[in-house]
Structure 1
Amino acid sequence: MWEPGSVSDFLPPDASALLSAWSDRVRRNREQVEHRRLALRKGGDFYAPVSSFFRADPYRDGDATLDALRALIRPGETVLDIGAGGGRYALPLARHAGEVIALEPSEGMREVLREGIEEYQIDNIRVVEASWPYDHPLRADVALICHVGYDIEAFGPFLEAMEETAERLCVAVMLSRPPPVRADPFWEAIYGEPREPLPALSEFLALQLSRGRLCEVSFVEHGGIAYQTEEDILHFLRQQLWISEGTSLDEQLRKIVPQHVHMEGGGIEFNADVGVLGIVSWVPPQQTANESGRTS
């Protein structure tokens, strides 16, 4: 039999509490990783060893995420792609938008992005070498993050800066389980402890509710990154587990890979499920205030 609860049961959670919880989870994950960093010196480019996996044909068909993003962006608009990586979305969106500002801190990723720009002769992408929040003012119609935020400890200021930049819309593409989760079984097998989980889509939606953001959410099929060989898989896992090639830990890793992957569609996929993919969009607060002022 249903019994009524307190009024607080029906109120959105406190934003500061959820931001603190987000930060705590990211911090615990970071601290767990810090003493495992054997393969990369402090200050190195974390994404350089795997940047080539982020190449994607901007003329590709059948990418449900890309189709959904195109539907949200109006022709001719300026898009800020925060953490653009190798241009998986920046390159194809540039064919639809007026300009794409691709902000990316990793030199390895920027190199892949520039190679794509040159290969496909795309001239309306502006590459910015920076992390977010950015020190210099940027303006865009749409501010976009794709699989960015899972490991951002100061996520509140990150989102606030994103909203201040967007003239019309903010968009976040997130999985219900963050991409590194594919390495979790290997982490436990190698190090004898479960990996601290990062926040993802469900935590993000709860956070947005607590921040008073009315979001639209669509769920699409997630294709992920295709790995063609077992060596490709090992490159990804060495990066995630901070293992150097040729070490005893690397030999141990090689032995257990077949237990956690399978062949599908001519490629190799992890058995670990990254869950559903959500495309979350919301109007930035200043735009909402402007619209309210016009209708009052």
Structure 2
Amino acid sequence: MFGKKKQKPQIDKAQLELIQNAQKRIKQKKRLYIHFVIFLIGAIFLIAANTVLGIGKDVQFFEIDWFVYAILLWLFFFVYHAFNVFITHKFMGKAWEQNQLDKLVAKQQERIDKLKEEFVKEETLIAQSEVYNETTSKAENTNSNSPKSELTIIVAAGENDAIGKDNKLIWHLSDDLKRFKSLTNGHHIIMGRKTFESFPKPLPNRTHVVISRQQDYKVPNGVILVNSLEDAIDASKNDLQPFIIGGGEIYKQAMLIADKIELTRVHESFEADTFFPEIDTSVWKETANTFHKKDENHKYEFSFLTYERV
């Protein structure tokens, strides 16, 4: 009890810097105040020396007494001193420079953190792609006689890759809807939550696989709910041709692992908030192209395009 030494209170480094900075500011202001007092006394002395004592009484420059110039020169030094204390040292001193440097470093760190997040996302998608390809390869080796499942993206996009706005289609093309129905009929259709919610009700004769990160998200009976694209593909493994039908983020992920793209290219640019990823022709080869002119049932010209992975 008596042998223990009392611990000395520790001052935080940041607090110590604030105290030291405050002490410096007090000293600067005191010196400025002393300068001001000396300036007033000195100015009175110069005036008295000239007018009362007659020192340099006849000395003038441009018809102005010499002591006026002396006072003005001294006033200039006083103003310069005040500028240093209240402006330069406060806003453009070392502390100000350090503060600006810290801000720049913080901004750069934010950019680095964002780049890291994007990099992690890309790495995750690549890993998922590799896992999917490895799983598919193992399945093929296990049963070489069984036909290979073909993951297909189906989408309608404008010339500027626009696919939707406010979770709705931008156009209504009768033949495109018929093609979508014909191709996806009897298959698994994989989609994000928002795409699923854009339907009035589940589409007939198709198995819906919905991707959502919401743990308590409710879906109707018969609809399969999963947490990732990888899980959605696994849920569709018995289908020889599951389809990815949206939205934008799901398309972006699927571009890394899909085997085919069934694209309806609407020959017009649209204002949108959801876009399809750009098709890299070094990865995808166009294998079919059917052009349709606009008519009374189709407001825009469009083409049915098929791409297969090279």
TM-score w.r.t. structure 2 length?
0.30
Query: Which structure has the larger Rg over C-alpha atoms?
Result: 2
More relative contact order in 1 or in 2 (CA 8 Å, sep 6+)? 1
